[in-house]
Structure 1
Amino acid sequence: MVWASGWRLASAVSNAGALGIIGAGSMYPDVLKEHIRKYKAASEQPFAVNLPLLYPDIEAHIKTVIEEKVPIIFTSAGNPKTWTGILKKEGVIVVHVVSSSKFALKAQEAGCDAIVAEGFEAGGHNGREETTTMVLIPLVKEAVHIPVIAAGGIASGRQMLAAMVLGAEGVQMGSRFVASEEASSHIRFKNRIITAGEGDTDLSLKQLTPVRLLKNQFYEQVKQLESTGASPADLKALLGHGRAKKGMFEGDLENGELEIGQVAAGIRSILPAEKILQEIWQEFLTARQALYTSL
């Protein structure tokens, strides 16, 4: 949710009854502090901050979330042992994002309070194993005893119900809320999402940090390099700096990096976050009742 989930989206989600998460991966420490304080002015509901542990100035982010008394932290893209103990000593609930049962166990051993099990369908950083959500959730649920939150390919009430049938206690949704009115992503990116079809995304840059991208000119350059056996250094040179900002925040749909999940193929509208949540919840209740009725 880099360049998409700032204080406006997080507070709108929390005020509508879910848990809003500020995506700190695209923020400098002073910007994160500003978003946290603006969130607090806009909502009295609980919220979280997502911290990618590969962030170059992660220590400053950790200091910020502790000083600002953020109640819940979602960590990702790194070793949870590094910061979980420090955060928990400060009374913070820690949730770690994993893509396999092996790493779920490591997160549990590190003292995490819950796990996000994210399948291969997801946008953004992803697992090299390419395990789908339907396969991953039962495996992780069997491996650990702490709560499991499902992610990857979930953007509707029916998909949420399916994840819970598989054993998840809750779900995390990203892509659906990129196409929300409150998301800070560029309107051209939002419009591209709601016109995406099946097969329009692909998991790329696996030699670096795997991300799922909408296919565009930049994606084709990545695939061309990968097909010729390019080194990680070559891919880093192509990626450069600010590629994700160029695409998702500035709206350069050809030269920018456009991270989004496979479920974009099923997203057809840009709506207020509250309306999105109302539709998801109603569909969940209807689908659950239909399931009970059919038994």
Structure 2
Amino acid sequence: MNSICKLFNIKYPIIQAGMVWCSGWKLAAAVSNAGGLGIIGAGSMYPEVLRTHIQKCKLATDKPFAVNIPLLYPNIQEIIDITIKEEVKIVFTSAGNPTTWTSFLKEKGITVVHVIANIKFAKKAQEAGVDAIVAEGFEAGGHNGREETTTMCLIPMIIEVVQIPVIAAGGIASGKSMLAAFALGADAVQIGSAFAVAEESSAHPAFKNKIISAVEGDTRLAMKKLVPVRLLKNEFADAVAQAEAEGADRTQLMALLGKARAKQGMFDGDLENGELEIGQVSAMLNEIKPASQILDEIWRDFIDQKKYLTHLNFSS
């Protein structure tokens, strides 16, 4: 059995990313029911909202699901306490030092996965005792690595330095790209953007339509002086780019970012003034459909492409 399928007790090695303002209980349950691993994104939830989503997810699926917890959030202790009390069995941590909470979570019987974007933190995560890592290339939407290492380069480098399972992320939305990740040594894939436009995603319909109308070059990596983030181009992204070109410092960028900018764009549907986090692969997405259909199409494409390559004759 595939190592990730065994670790999470799932049918397919396909993980739905814990995206802010997109990954509520409906999406997580739908992906888990379809045989993948659904994830509730705690990054855009107050503690009690997270509790409600976990409870509703349990009612909607009897399959495993996870919670993604960004470690830099100020109410991290309360978020973790709720996750433990609600008996969530799998936690994906991100945006912080994996040594801070990994041992504590594992002592509670929780399987821990940490998201990284470089070799340094891959090693640190393994030393901290995580069960697996997500290696995310800079094609991905949302918060990103400062090194701007692409998935194609990142995965084989990470495989060389860790002995735990590696989940590839960034720019993956088809069976072809999933097969490429496996060829590079990955044990599974984590998919964000393709599930952001699922019918069950909590993203605003206007944001979903903006994603499926995106073309090549419609995203950019911004705010590297704060935390690098990949955004769809709009008036807000243009303002950030202009500020950065004029030498804006962290304080000026923070003022421009303001509060709840991601909610304004992704959840409330303000397509010009909001922050629209999505990956480069948005240029390949052209339809809003159920999460189960998205997962099934990716898996079938993966199997078909694997068979195709197996039957190719490369001899001269």
TM-score (structure 1 length as normaliser): 0.99
What amino acid does structure 2 have at the position aligned with 1:155?
Answer: A
| Residue 251 of structure 1: aligned partner | 269
Match of 2:230 among 208, 212, 223: 212
- Provide the alpha-carbon RMSD of the alignment: 0.5
1:282 maps to 2:300: yes
Q: CA deviation at 1:109?
A: 0.4
Q: CA deviation at 1:79?
A: 0.2
| Residue 165 of structure 2: aligned partner | 147
Q: Which runs of 5+ in 1 are unaligned?
A: none
| Residue 11 of structure 2: aligned partner | none
| Residue 14 of structure 2: aligned partner | none
| Residue 225 of structure 1: aligned partner | 243
| Residue 75 of structure 2: aligned partner | 57
The secondary structure found in structure 2 opposite 1:145 is coil
The secondary structure found in structure 1 opposite 2:99 is helix
Q: Which runs of 5+ in 2 are unaligned?
A: 1-18
Q: Distance in 2 between matches of 1:292 and 1:27?
A: 45
| Residue 290 of structure 2: aligned partner | 272
| Residue 34 of structure 1: aligned partner | 52
Q: Deviations over 1:68-97 (max 9, x none)?
A: 111100000000110000000000000000
| Residue 122 of structure 1: aligned partner | 140
Q: Distance in 2 between matches of 1:281 and 1:84?
A: 31
What amino acid does structure 1 have at the position aligned with 2:178?
Answer: M
What amino acid does structure 2 have at the position aligned with 1:141?
Answer: I
The secondary structure found in structure 2 opposite 1:81 is coil
Aligned residues: 295
Q: CA deviation at 1:241?
A: 0.4
Q: Distance in 2 between matches of 1:37 and 1:98?
A: 28
What does 1:104-115 align with in structure 2 at a 5 Å threshold?
104-115=122-133
| Residue 294 of structure 1: aligned partner | 312
Q: Distance in 2 between matches of 1:173 and 1:64?
A: 26
| Residue 167 of structure 1: aligned partner | 185
1:186 maps to 2:190: no
Q: CA deviation at 1:278?
A: 1.0
Q: Distance in 1 between matches of 2:64 and 2:206?
A: 31
Q: Distance in 2 between matches of 1:55 and 1:181?
A: 28
Q: Distance in 2 between matches of 1:274 and 1:169?
A: 21
Q: Distance in 2 between matches of 1:98 and 1:138?
A: 14
1:261 maps to 2:279: yes
Q: Distance in 2 between matches of 1:175 and 1:24?
A: 17
Q: Distance in 2 between matches of 1:86 and 1:125?
A: 25
Q: Distance in 2 between matches of 1:231 and 1:126?
A: 19
Q: Distance in 1 between matches of 2:142 and 2:237?
A: 14
Q: Deviations over 1:137-158 (max 9, x none)?
A: 0000010000000000001111
The secondary structure found in structure 2 opposite 1:257 is coil
1:45 maps to 2:58: no
What amino acid does structure 2 have at the position aligned with 1:156?
Answer: S
| Residue 8 of structure 2: aligned partner | none
Q: Distance in 1 between matches of 2:22 and 2:214?
A: 18
Q: Deviations over 1:88-118 (max 9, x none)?
A: 0000000000001111000000111100000
Match of 1:8 among 26, 35, 46: 26
Aligned residues with identical type, % of pairs: 64
Match of 1:156 among 174, 198, 204: 174
Q: Distance in 2 between matches of 1:125 and 1:92?
A: 25
The secondary structure found in structure 2 opposite 1:44 is coil
| Residue 216 of structure 2: aligned partner | 198
Q: Deviations over 1:33-79 (max 9, x none)?
A: 00000000000000000000111111111101111111100000000
What amino acid does structure 1 have at the position aligned with 2:195?
Answer: F
TM-score (structure 2 length as normaliser): 0.93
Q: Distance in 1 between matches of 2:212 and 2:145?
A: 25
